[in-house]
Structure 1
Amino acid sequence: MHFLRTFLFHALVAIAASSVPLSAASAADNLAVVTARVPCATLLATAIEDIGGSGSRITRASEAADRQGITSCIVEGTLAPSIGFRIALPTRTWTQRYLQIGCGGLCGNIAGMVGAADGCVPLNAGGFVQGATDMGHQGMSGDFGRDAQKRIDFAYRAQHLTAVLARKLIRAYYGQPQAYAYFTGCSDGGREALIAAQRYPEDFDGIIAGAAAMSFTTQNGLYHAWQARSNTGPDGKAILVASRLPLLHKAVLDQCDALDGQKDGLISEPRNCHFDPASIQCAAGQTDTSACLSAQEADAVRKFYAGPIDAETGVKLTLGGPLPGSELNWAGVFVPMSADQSFASTMIAESAMPVLYDNSLPQIAKVADVRFNADTFKRLAGVHALYDATNPDLSRFVQAGRKLILWHGLGDPHISPLTTIAYHEALQQRFGDAALQSFERLYLLPGVAHCSGGEGPSQIDLLTPMLEWVEQGKAPGAIIASQADPAKANSFGQPGSPTGSGPDAGPPRGMNPPPAMAAVSGVKSPVQSRPVFPYPQLPRYSGKGDANQASSQIAGPAQYLGSTPAWIGSNYFTPDSYR
């Protein structure tokens, strides 16, 4: 029976993949343009206390042009107590769609760019009203976590109220409601996307969730602390530094690059790669370590891959660490450029501590204070139902006809792709293969780092396939991923239409590795474009043309049919943990 279910699932994936051309440019631009019915300034008087409560108000309603020259009515203000929002309503180009943009890290600023939408024609033509929120606080500090209301606003309230507000402003400005609403976000924006699907399925017709920090509690409370501690020697300095990563990465590729049938500098199915850093460990007493890892370095690498583990019981405290093939992307995250530098992982973990822990108990304020055991996990479990977005019960979402696209870079050093795969598996178990095909797709991008960048092609358009799925009933198949042009990409590596500009438009500090690592590695992938098929299907070379171009790749079979490993929080991916 299991074999039959697996066969049928793969057959359905193959059919879906072949039903859509390998193109990111087939725009679902079939809705009439609607122009503004009232002057922009009149929106300043719109009452919004019915949405956010006493003290909610609009502080700005004025026209401005974005970088593409699209003029919009920019509406800004506050939903009580302190949720900042920004809604951009095109004056003459609106095609009856609304797009809400998630923000990364601990948020604290208005998201400025739409990711995973490269080449989306309706977006670039100003066809969307766009909205975003700072999630109820300003700045990257986690100090807001000491306020119970701000915790709720960050967890789920801010994005929901922003969606409600956008609907009201759209009606007021255009004299009619939107035809369709969408949400897209990566990192914590991916968590926000899944929160919307799980808690507020009425808000959006289509949701795109990238590299979602869906297991927020363990991700920020254990994963980053473990990565930083694993790379800290007795002298308090880093054990492994960035200059050593090309050596490690090359060894991983030498062993595993060809496992997917193509030797191209990318590992398409890293779960089949069982690399042991002992294979490049220096011999005892060896003084020249330029071509090998010291025993201490190899041990740190081993711990990175494994992720947090309870030393006493051997139980996994998260799903795991970064996957083989991601090594260059560790630079600047938990592997600093020099031994004396601090870790971004330390900053991430310590910033989140006020958000995660019960303020009535003794505080865990430093990475050095974290104990990797079941007691710490249980303490974090107190806010699991508040922040996490791993509930697979999307019954209301499915009944409403909504659509969900999940995506993740397989070279992500911040959030293990195993988390997204585990959520897909939980949905599969909850709904069954056939029903899952009706509303969800998962795309995994080889070599791609956190939300963008890395060695693999990271420039993608998932928004156009989502429009076609929601509005035309055309289920997405393969998408094309291309190498990004650094000169044209924003800080998440994705061109797009901004709702804002300036320093607050990018992701939080430390969210992406230094771009120089790929350049100095000597093993950068030559792949220029590649089709990415719905999971678990992989591409393979057709035998004709340039293997580094998408046009020479066709659908191949899945190569890994296992499931994600058991860990202490496996029940988190069930509805029961939210009751």
Structure 2
Amino acid sequence: MPNQPVGQKPPRQLAIVAPIIDCAELASVDLSAIGGAGSKVTSAKEVVKDANFCEVEGVLKPAITFKVLLPTDSWQQRFLQVGCGGLCGRIQLQLDGAAGCFPLDSNGFVIAATDMGHALGDINFGNDPQKRRDFAYRAVHLTAVATKQLIQTFYGRKAAYAYFSGCSDGGREGLMEAQRYPADFNGIVAGAAANNFQVQKAVYHSWQAQSNTDANGKAVITAAQLPLIHNAVLAQCDAQDGQVDGLIADPQSCHFNPAVLSCARLAPGSANGHNCLSDTQLATLHRLYDGPRDPKSLERLTVGGPLPGSELAWAGIFVPKKTGDLNYSESVALSTLKYLNYEKNPPASFSLKEVKQTAQMLADLSKLHPLYDATNPNLQPFYAAGGKLILWHGWGDPSVSPLNTLAYHQALGETLGLVTRDKFERLYMLPGLYHCSTGEGPSMVDFLTPMLNWVEQGIAPDSVLTYMVASEQKNKMITKKPQGDMKLETIADNAASRPVYPYPDYAVYSGKGDVSQAANYQRKKLATVPENYHWLGEGFYKPYAALN
């Protein structure tokens, strides 16, 4: 089986089902019962994109557009809906966490995606209450329902299995499906989920942007200082996980002391701005790691900030890559605060300078928490429906703090009980992985195949192989476009590998054999496994009634 990760059980080969009607006939499918009057298929045509497909595009009122790719001669009875990152606004056929998945590579899925109800240039879509709901939950659900109707019509039968996979906001979308529509999907893979949407966008990113900006609007810490900081973190913490490899597999055990970087410790005249940090920069670094606190109670206002070991990934997020660059944190915080986070939008002149991170800010954000957030841990209906859930996150993610995913995993255990949680959910934490992809650690992984095996054969996932993308391997990597426009990386024959285990276990080198081979790693429990994450918004991770 080509490109199947070594040591990973391949999924079942399901019988191929052929269409019973011509592709063009799908143009007449009535979707009004799903999306309301005027909902319809706008285009249905045969295309050749690595294989033969019936490509269907449509609209679900008022403005949800979607695309479905239905294989004409290779469908293996599975449906996969792909999540959309950021604030969406376009059909995004991109999937992280499925490198080398054979059923994808062989065009065996019906694939669907949506723009979530607004166009990419429509930055103020939050002024429309309906578009808010479409973005929050409605577009993804209705696309799933519409796709299932198209499958029934085209093939004359239902999909045997339905899956959802997404990362970032796509991860939030997957969790939203599990929480609001537990029967939509048999299996959901949610990576680096922006599930704590209100706090992550409005509080975390506004704090990170403000903390690294001085009174003149210039960055205090620049990308030039990040390697210095990162190397100091490694010097203090790399060996704590049992292996000196440039990765921190247990960042919650790392208590980095940035004082070692102080310019005051150097001999007079030897500080040059690249070998040390000023007092102002050290204070800024502390704020970036620590996160915002209520000025009165000094309680945390977020689950947590970026973790030690993630420093190189800060460039472009809240540390500018070059002077004058607009940071992602500044951009995303401003756009959501102006148009999405509050019941009533602030004036057009609103700026981040007006944001004061306080307990009152959390209280204000809590009003739309039941609309946008996907932190409800009551997944009993999803479990009862037989659903399976894989969560995954990179320890080196600066865009969505991995502590948000850890807090949700913990909340599931508290709400449902550990025994029940472990029957349908797994969490994987990847060392050195940035936001959804890339990083210093092994970043190529296939969580979709273990999900197929779990749902279809009852084989619960345990160790999963991850692969390194090294510079000498990049020319040997093949980037294909299976399922139409979806990009899927295949794994090079000589790629370094390492297993990843369900949290709180991790992989550490056994001390024997090639360090680049997964077979030479053994399982170990993380030294630090917090029982809870204390912050003022802990109630966001308690069961709640959804807001429609």
Classify the TM-score, shorter chain. Answer: over 0.9
Greater relative CO (CA pairs within 8 A, separation 6+): 1
Q: Secondary structure at the match of 2:466?
A: strand
Residue equivalent to 1:512 = none
Q: Tell whether 2:56 aligns with 1:75.
A: yes
Could you tell me which of 135, 147, 153 is aligned with 1:154?
135
Any gaps of 5 or more consecutive residues in structure 2? Answer: 489-494
Any gaps of 5 or more consecutive residues in structure 1? Answer: 1-20, 507-526
CA distance in 2, matches of 1:196, 1:61: 27
Q: Tell whether 2:519 aligns with 1:566.
A: no
Shift in Å, 1:129: 0.1
Deviations 1:327-369 (A, max 9, x none): 0000111111233322121111112120112226657832212
Residue equivalent to 1:386 = 371
Q: Tell whether 2:498 aligns with 1:530.
A: yes
Shift in Å, 1:30: 2.5
Change in CA separation of 1:428 and 1:151 when aligned onto 2, cut-off 3 Å: same
Residue equivalent to 1:256 = 237
CA distance in 1, matches of 2:5, 2:146: 37
CA distance in 2, matches of 1:494, 1:392: 37
Residue equivalent to 2:247 = 266
Contact 1:29–1:122 at 8 Å: present in 2 too? no
Change in CA separation of 1:337 and 1:362 when aligned onto 2, cut-off 3 Å: closer
Change in CA separation of 1:361 and 1:238 when aligned onto 2, cut-off 3 Å: closer
Residue equivalent to 2:392 = 407
Q: Tell whether 2:194 aligns with 1:209.
A: no
Shift in Å, 1:549: 2.1
Contact 1:89–1:128 at 8 Å: present in 2 too? yes
Residue equivalent to 1:450 = 435
Residue equivalent to 1:516 = none
Number of equivalences: 532
CA distance in 1, matches of 2:473, 2:106: 17
Q: Secondary structure at the match of 2:190?
A: strand
Q: Tell whether 2:211 aligns with 1:235.
A: no
Shift in Å, 1:558: 3.0
Residue equivalent to 2:302 = 318
Deviations 1:250-280 (A, max 9, x none): 0000000000000000000100000021221
Contact 2:168–2:194 at 8 Å: present in 1 too? yes
Question: How big is the alpha-carbon RMSD for the aligned residues of Structure 1 and Structure 2?
Answer: 2.3
| Code of the aligned partner of 1:480 | L
CA distance in 2, matches of 1:297, 1:330: 15
Residue equivalent to 1:200 = 181
- Higher alpha-carbon deviation: 354-363 or 226-235: 354-363
CA distance in 1, matches of 2:246, 2:480: 25
- Higher alpha-carbon deviation: 415-424 or 105-114: 105-114
| Code of the aligned partner of 1:211 | A
Deviations 1:511-569 (A, max 9, x none): xxxxxxxxxxxxxxxx9321000000111222321123212112122322323421111
Contact 2:63–2:117 at 8 Å: present in 1 too? yes
Residue equivalent to 2:511 = 543
Q: Tell whether 2:376 aligns with 1:398.
A: no
Q: Tell whether 2:539 aligns with 1:555.
A: no
Contact 2:8–2:465 at 8 Å: present in 1 too? no
- Higher alpha-carbon deviation: 304-313 or 208-217: 304-313
Q: Secondary structure at the match of 1:316?
A: coil
Q: Tell whether 2:283 aligns with 1:299.
A: yes
Deviations 1:481-501 (A, max 9, x none): 111378999xxx997635537
Residue equivalent to 1:34 = 17
Contact 2:97–2:446 at 8 Å: present in 1 too? yes
Contact 2:192–2:400 at 8 Å: present in 1 too? yes
| Code of the aligned partner of 1:26 | K
Change in CA separation of 1:140 and 1:565 when aligned onto 2, cut-off 3 Å: farther
Q: Secondary structure at the match of 1:164?
A: helix
CA distance in 1, matches of 2:136, 2:480: 28
Q: Secondary structure at the match of 1:538?
A: strand
| Code of the aligned partner of 2:78 | R
Matches of residues 113-124 of structure 1 in structure 2 within 5 Å? Answer: 113-124=94-105
Change in CA separation of 1:415 and 1:70 when aligned onto 2, cut-off 3 Å: same
Q: Tell whether 2:69 aligns with 1:94.
A: no
CA distance in 2, matches of 1:123, 1:140: 31
- Higher alpha-carbon deviation: 473-482 or 564-573: 564-573
Contact 2:12–2:453 at 8 Å: present in 1 too? no
Could you tell me which of 240, 249, 258 is aligned with 1:277?
258
Contact 2:192–2:436 at 8 Å: present in 1 too? yes
Change in CA separation of 1:405 and 1:54 when aligned onto 2, cut-off 3 Å: same
Residue equivalent to 2:491 = none
Q: Tell whether 2:390 aligns with 1:422.
A: no
Residue equivalent to 1:45 = 28
Q: Tell whether 2:84 aligns with 1:103.
A: yes
CA distance in 2, matches of 1:221, 1:416: 13
